[in-house]
Every structure is written in structure tokens, then in C-alpha cells.
Amino acid sequence: MPASSSTHILDRREIGRLVGGSPGPTLVAVAGVHGNEPAGIEAARRVFARLERGGVAVRGELVVFAGNVGSLKRGVRYESKDLNRQWSEGRVEALRSPGAVALDAEDREQLELLGAIEAAMGRARGAVHLVDMHTSSAAGVPFVLFGDTLAQRRFVGAFPIPVIIGLEEQIDGALSEYWTRRGCVTFTVEGGQHDDPASVDSLESVLWLALHQAGLLDGDAPREVHEGRTRLDARRGDLPRVLEVVSRRAITAEDSFQMEPGFRNIARAKGGQLLARDRRGEIVAPHDGVVILPLYQGLGSDGFFWGREVSEARLRASRVLRSLGAHRLLALLPGVERDPARETRFVVDRQATRLVPLEVFHLFGYRRVRERSGALTVERQLD
């Protein structure tokens, strides 16, 4: 049975669990990976309270976990380090090693959350889906980000809010990326500003649509699904349906980064417009585009992300090329070699990018771009 929604006291990691009478998919939701983002907890409690009242047939399993219980109780983003930057295979292996000592607060949270999600996967009687629910310091609309696989593209197509491609790949150690590699269909949703009551409404709507899209709801979709879709569509307003991230403005404490006031979490900007300042001076928009997730809080290493709208024609071309397996031809391009250590990664000579721009690799899902010994590596998740 799900946890009661009548209490707002967070006394355990599992917010609620509902197991359907028949086998089916599993939806794992994580809320509050950042402790100053409790809206997803309340959204989940609302969904469980509705399911407790009956009238909605569920198959498979819905389970919701609190991400960073200690920080949620204190109302802080994190205590020692960002829990949403720790999810790499190497990091997890180190935490689990017998010699791991002096674990900090986030290490302990990660180990417990890892075990809880793995237990849910072990119980699964069908496909496993995972949603990571967040809010942001800037005002704005809810939106979705995800690792660029074809299966995840299809899944997030159910949400009538901005869908951002390439944002997850800009971040190292994201929770959703780790579980994609473990075989789940995953996505992350930003519900709106931290303290905006509408953020809870939006995240509740996303959960209902995720339940429907994942196949946990038997029979006709309940009215909450239709109402949620209408609510989210209205919140998007005139923003583009699909965006892609072009670059990330990484910052450190020494940069004295200061975002210009007034930007929402997704905001159009004109070329030459002042975006922010740091110790080196003004930071202006290189051309017309979109500012994504501007930083208006004390903690964080992402000043903002810079993006642009993606046309349906480009999305269609990408789907066709990837479905045909045309990415194999990339290894034939001059200055491009497959990384022998990982089949999903190419090493690209910097000179080669003059002839073959990175946008070509993006068409095939190779959006994780990193510097390595005078060259670039471009990597994707397996479709």
C-alpha cells in the first residue's frame, strides 16, 4: 500500500509504493535529490492519495523515493556535495568497495538510494522507467531533459512541455544518465521554481502522464491524465516544443559569477544581449538563442546553458539515420576513430571538426563531448 499523504514529515526514504494486481511495468520516481527541492515529494503524495481512493486500475509497480533525506529535512541543496553529480560507475564502485571509509552525508544517501532503486528493479515484472523530479532557482515553466536515445525520445514525446535534448550530456554524474546505462528508460523533469505552488501541480501532472505513458494504468486514462496534459500544455505558452543545448557555462566559486536578473528558467535572448558577469567581465549572447537554467542560488557549478530550437525536420532525419544504423559510417570520416575502450565513443581530431562539425555527431546521438589530450571524445547512450 502507498504511504499516507496526510503527513508532511519525511521520516523514511520510500515516500510510497503501489503494486498492481497484475504484472506490468515499473515506474520509479525520485524526488528531492537536491534538498531544497521538496515539490516532487508533495506531488507524489497527491498521486498516492488519489490512488488510495480507488477507481484507477494499476498494473506493475509505482514506487517513489526521497533522494537526499538529510538535506530535505534541513532544507538545503546538499551538505557535502551535489548528489546529482555522483552517479558514475567508478564512483559507485568506489562507494561499494570494502575499503570505502569516512563516507560523507551524500555518500551515505547515495548508497541507500542505490540499494532502494536496485531492489525495485529486482522486483520488476516488466520494463523499468525512472523519473528524477526537480525544481529550479529561476522562475519559469516545467520542462523535460533526457539522455538522447530513441526509446527515451519516444517516451518524453508524451509531455506537452519543452523537451531539451543534450542537457543531460553536459553534466557528469547525473542520476538519470546512470540508470539509462543500467537499462531503464529515464528522464528528468524540472517542475518550475522551488517555492512556486504551481511547481507541485506540474510535477503531479508529469507523474500522471508518466504512469500513462509507461503503461501502468489499465483501461481508459483517468481524468487526471487529461487534466494534467491540458495544464502542462498551457504552462508551456509560446516556448518551442523541442530545444537542444549548444554549450554550458561552467563556473567556479573564484569566478564571482553573477547572472543578470530577470531570466526565467527557459528564456529567449538576442545576440549581444548581456547575460551575466564574472571576474573577467561581461558575458553576452553570441547570437539569438535560448538561456536555460540560469543560476540564481549560491551553490552550483552551472552558470547557465545556451540552447536553440530544433525543427521537426531535423528530428525526423535523426530518427531515420539512427534507425538505419548509419552511425557506423562515422568511423570512415577523416580524423575520426572509434575508441577501443568503449564502443559508444569516438575520438575526434580537432582539425577534423573543421570539415565535420559536431552537429553531424549530434544527429546520431553523440552529444556527450569532452576534451581529451588534444582531441575530443564524442559519446552516446546505446539505442
C-beta of residue 249 within 8 angstroms of C-beta of residue 304: yes
The arrangement of strands across the sheet holding 258-259 comes to: 258-259, 274-278, 281-284
Is the predicted pLDDT of residue 321 greater than 90, yes or no? yes
With 0-12 / 13-18 / 19 or more C-beta atoms within 10 angstroms meaning exposed / middle / buried, residue 71 is buried
Which residue did the predictor score with more confidence, 351 or 381? 381
Query: pLDDT tier at 317 (50, 70, 90 boundaries)?
Result: very high
Of 7-11, 201-205, 318-322, the one with minimum mean pLDDT is 7-11
pLDDT in tens, 186-201: 999 999 999 999 999 9
d(CA 372, CA 383): 25
pLDDT score at 7: 38
d(CA 85, CA 88): 8
Domain spans, the chain: 14-236, 245-309, 325-379
Q: For residues 204-211, give the mean pLDDT.
A: 98
d(CA 167, CA 148): 9
Query: pLDDT tier at 285 (50, 70, 90 boundaries)?
Result: very high
Output the nine-digit C-alpha cell for 251.
Answer: 563556473
Share of the chain above pLDDT 70, in %: 97
Is the predicted pLDDT of residue 5 greater than 50, yes or no? no
- Strand 375-379 versus strand 345-349 pairing type: antiparallel
Query: pLDDT tier at 25 (50, 70, 90 boundaries)?
Result: very high
pLDDT in tens, 38-94: 999 999 999 999 999 999 999 999 999 999 999 999 999 999 999 999 999 999 999
- Strand 289-292 versus strand 302-309 pairing type: antiparallel
Q: Which of 133, 156, 150 is nearest to 213 (CA)?
A: 156
Please state, in angstroms and as integers, the Cα–Cα distance from residue 111 to each residue in 94, 102, 168, 171, 279, following that order.
Answer: 11, 13, 22, 21, 38
Which residue did the predictor score with more confidence, 13 or 138? 13
Please state, in angstroms and as integers, the Cα–Cα distance from residue 28 to each residue in 114, 271, 352, following that order.
Answer: 12, 41, 42
d(CA 27, CA 128): 6
H helices of the chain, in order, are 39-52, 69-74, 89-96, 105-123, 150-156, 175-181, 197-214, 223-236, 312-323, 358-363
Phi first, then psi: give them for residue 253, nearest 5 degrees: -60, -30
- Strand 375-379 versus strand 368-372 pairing type: antiparallel
- Strand 61-66 versus strand 163-165 pairing type: unpaired
Is there a shared CATH topology between the 14-236 domain and the 245-309 domain? no
- Round the average pLDDT of the chain to a whole number and report it: 92
Is the predicted pLDDT of residue 4 greater than 50, yes or no? no
Phi/psi-derived region of residue 110, left when phi > 0, alpha when psi is between -120 and 50, beta in every other case: alpha
Query: pLDDT tier at 137 (50, 70, 90 boundaries)?
Result: confident
pLDDT in tens, 214-254: 999 998 999 999 999 999 999 999 899 999 998 899 999 89
pLDDT score at 9: 60
With cell 509507461, the residue in question is 214
Domain 245-309 matching CATH 2.40.50.100: the answer reads yes
CATH number for domain 14-236, candidates 3.40.309.10, 3.40.630.10, 1.10.3720.10, 3.40.50.300? 3.40.630.10
pLDDT score at 3: 37
Please state, in angstroms and as integers, the Cα–Cα distance from residue 50 to each residue in 55, 121, 152, following that order.
Answer: 9, 24, 27
d(CA 298, CA 316): 40
Spatial CB neighbours of 21, under 8 Å, sequence gap ≥ 6: 59
Is the predicted pLDDT of residue 139 greater than 90, yes or no? no
